[in-house]
Chain A
Amino acid sequence: MRKGIIVSAALHLGVIGAAMVTWPSALRLSEEAPPSVPVELITIAEATNIQAAVREPPPQPTPTPVEAVVPTIDPDMDIQLAEMTPPPPEPQPEPEPEALPEPEPEEVAQAEPEPEPPPAPTPPSPAPREKPAPEPEEEFDLDSVIALLDNRAPRAATPQSAPVAEAPRRGIGDQSAMTMNLRDAIMSQMRECWNFPAGAPNAEELFVGVTFYLAPSGELARAPQLTAETRAAMAGNAYLRAAAEAALRAVNICAPYRGLPTDQYAEWREIIVTFDPTKMAGR
């Protein structure tokens, strides 16, 4: 089963890769290039001949003035731009089990989707959508359904039954063998989920901290949050904001977290992850 998934994923990637390389060229060349070539040639030739005769007496062997009637870059471009504020939240987002508690009656009343006034760029107000923090325990959980459908390569997680902290050493807090094993379990899963935004200038400085809470099932108990430090550093730094959003996506995608022993739930209920870009940026 697992082998099948891996083989399938590899084949799909291969096909997509091949298509990326071959398709665009196959399609584009035949579509766009040929017709425009002769047309432009004719235009230029005519214009050139006409202009060459009319042109001022060249003081010295100047270039044959090529007066190509070239379309300027923006003929009458004037593209207008307006910002659109986020729409009001939908009356009832049905598939969200978390959304059931409070239907927010007032918002429903004004939820008429109406087109924004076109001009007058208004700063986008923060999305009015507020999700009530869900309880750790849910009978039905969409994320776990998604996880079942998840056909990505299986994560290198420690198996559910793996004994964590087989040989407890003396030590306290984060120095104990137990927490080290928990860390490894989280880390090995995160590694598959963290899509590092390479290519930013000084990418090695884009450290991001994320705090999140897990339910005993390994699901996220609520939406992950950036640490205060990251939030503060992020202001005005678009690259760090992009890195922070990538980190939040990583925490979301990775759920549910597997291989965490329920008898040690207290140890991994709250997790603070630091995404350290130094290694990745050097690649």
Chain B
Amino acid sequence: MLLRKSSFIRRWLGPVAFAASLLAAPVAHAALEVRVDEGVSEPLPIAIPDFIGINPDASRMGADVANVVRADLERSGLFRPLAPTSFIENITDINVPPRFGDWRIIQAQGLVTGQATVQPDGRLRVDFRLWDIFGEEQMIGLQYTATPENWRRIAHLVSDAIYQRITGEAGYFDTRIVFIAESGPGLDRRKRLAVMDQDGANPVFLTQGDYLVLTPRFNPTAQMIAYMSYINDRPRVYLFDLETGRQEMLGNFPNMTFSPRFSPNGNSVVMALENNGNSDIYIMDLATRTSRRLTNDPGIDTAPSFSPDGTQITFESNRGGSQQVYVMNADGSNVRRVSFGNGRAGTPVWSPRGDLIAFTKIADGAFRVGVIRPDGSGERVLSTGWQDEGPTWAPNGRVLMYTRTLQTGANGVGGGSQIWSVDVTGRNERRVLAPGDASDPAWSPLIQ
């Protein structure tokens, strides 16, 4: 009986009610539809209290880890870590949900709680949870275990996890930078190959500075560096194995080789080879050490860089009369010009995301770092210095680093070179810390 009644209701009353609601809707119950097409772009306020620890050692570790995480996220320009002095709730147990209201009052939108534990086997364990303050739920919770010396890497991995969960794209904090460390007076400048963590920590010099080194680039596993060096006054491309410290010349070319870069699979290196004032692009297979010529043009072709899928190469050439950015297929076919703006364009680098090519734009008496789509559209200048050049991408294609040369003052004071970074949106331009003067940065992939 009940069943029948309900089926009757469904069959007859339903449509009637639906029709009635249609009539009534505009008057009383229609949802107000609003389109919002403007907003702000501000760093997300996030609270990251020191990670807790059950003993003083662990507490100190926890505080150190939280410090690195705060610094990482702040530097990205997408987060604004709140001052710990403003916190109301004192986190004492990360396995209990926080008092969300306490965090809303200080206008936090995210909260990271964490704990550091030194295990009986001596290893460091870091647990953390990221909380959505408005949604009142955990967004992610992870646990890392490693030897205590690797605490900074753990902190970077925590930052990467938070960054990825909130922005939707992979982080870039657990990465390194290879660069040229410069020291000494202008005429007797020492240039050494060096690596450091992405945040400037742990700098290590790989060469002594007896000879000039230029344009270092990581391979996809971040274990090998290709670069150009003037050892014995023979400017050639070299490989440096970070694991063994071994250094070797790549190939045995009669003339200068320069501007090397690894292919995305790491099996080959593209570079430029000079021959009687002309230079063309070659690719060398690292296993067989055989090389193949990709361009054959009387103009100067240099600075090759693969697309992340390995099917195309962008490079710079003056074949059209002035230095511009070009793209070709990986076998050298189908060359087309990409940059058409005013001035010149050089040192193109394909984004790991594939959507953009970064390059140095030389116009109006200044060098600036810009980006352009591979089809030549959407050119944008990102940096604001007097001489910014040689961009390199973070592995997530979101941030760029480059060399900024400072202008020497009228009194001869000043000058020097620094590494700077900028967001692909053109925001958050800031200096990257390096020991002393530094140039030619190249970002590593995410360390595996």
A interface with B by C-beta (< 8 Å): 16, 20-21, 24-25, 28-29, 32-34, 36-37, 40-41, 44-45, 47-48, 60-87, 89-90, 93-96, 113-116, 118, 124, 126-127, 129, 131, 142-143, 145-146, 149-150, 152, 172-174, 179, 182-183, 186-187, 190-202, 211, 223, 237-243, 245, 248-250, 252-253, 266-280, 283
Contacts and interface: CB of A to CB of B under 8 A. Distances in A.
B102 to A, nearest CB: 7
Nearest to A152: B107
Kindly list the 10 A-B residue pairs having the minimum CB-CB distance in the complex, ordered from nearest. Answer: A194-B39, A84-B141, A242-B168, A127-B137, A86-B138, A238-B168, A113-B95, A33-B435, A173-B26, A95-B101
B169 A239 contact: yes
A121 B162 CA distance: 18
8 contacts: A33-B435, A65-B247, A68-B245, A81-B143, A95-B101, A195-B39, A201-B353, A239-B169
B135 A248 contact: yes
B96 A87 contact: yes
A63 B36 contact: no
Given A77-B146, A81-B142, 10 more contacts: A63-B249, A82-B142, A223-B135, A242-B167, A250-B36, A270-B29, A272-B33, A275-B37, A277-B37, A283-B41
Interface of B: 26-42, 44, 71, 74-75, 80, 93-97, 99-102, 104-105, 107, 109, 125, 127, 129, 132, 134-138, 140-147, 149-150, 153-154, 157, 164, 166-169, 176, 195, 200-208, 210, 222-223, 229, 231-232, 234, 238, 240, 242-249, 252, 353, 355, 397-398, 423-425, 427, 430-431, 433-436, 444, 447-448
B146 A190 contact: no
B153 A77 contact: yes
Contacts of B436: 33, 37
A199 B423 contact: yes
A93 to B, nearest CB: 7
A42 to B, nearest CB: 10
Nearest to A127: B137
Of the listed residues B34, B105, B135, the one surrounded by the most CB atoms of chain A closer than 10 A to its CB is B34
Nearest to B207: A66
A84 B39 CA distance: 34
A223 to B, nearest CB: 8
Contact of A271 (B32, B74, B232): B32
B268 to A, nearest CB: 21
B34 A32 contact: no
A253 to B, nearest CB: 8
A147 B129 CA distance: 27
A79 B65 CA distance: 15
Contact of A142 (B101, B138, B202): B101
A63 B102 contact: no
Nearest to A173: B26
A69 B245 contact: yes
A28 B107 CA distance: 29
A183 B28 CA distance: 16
B415 to A, nearest CB: 18
Nearest to A59: B252
A266 B238 contact: no
Contact of A272 (B34, B37, B95): B34
Given A64-B231, A72-B243, A191-B39, A84 B168 contact: no
Given A70-B245, A191-B36, A249-B134, A79 B231 contact: no
Nearest to A126: B137
Contacts of A85: 141
A66 B143 contact: no
Contact of A194 (B36, B102, B149, B242): B36
B146 A79 contact: yes
B433 A24 contact: yes
B147 to A, nearest CB: 6
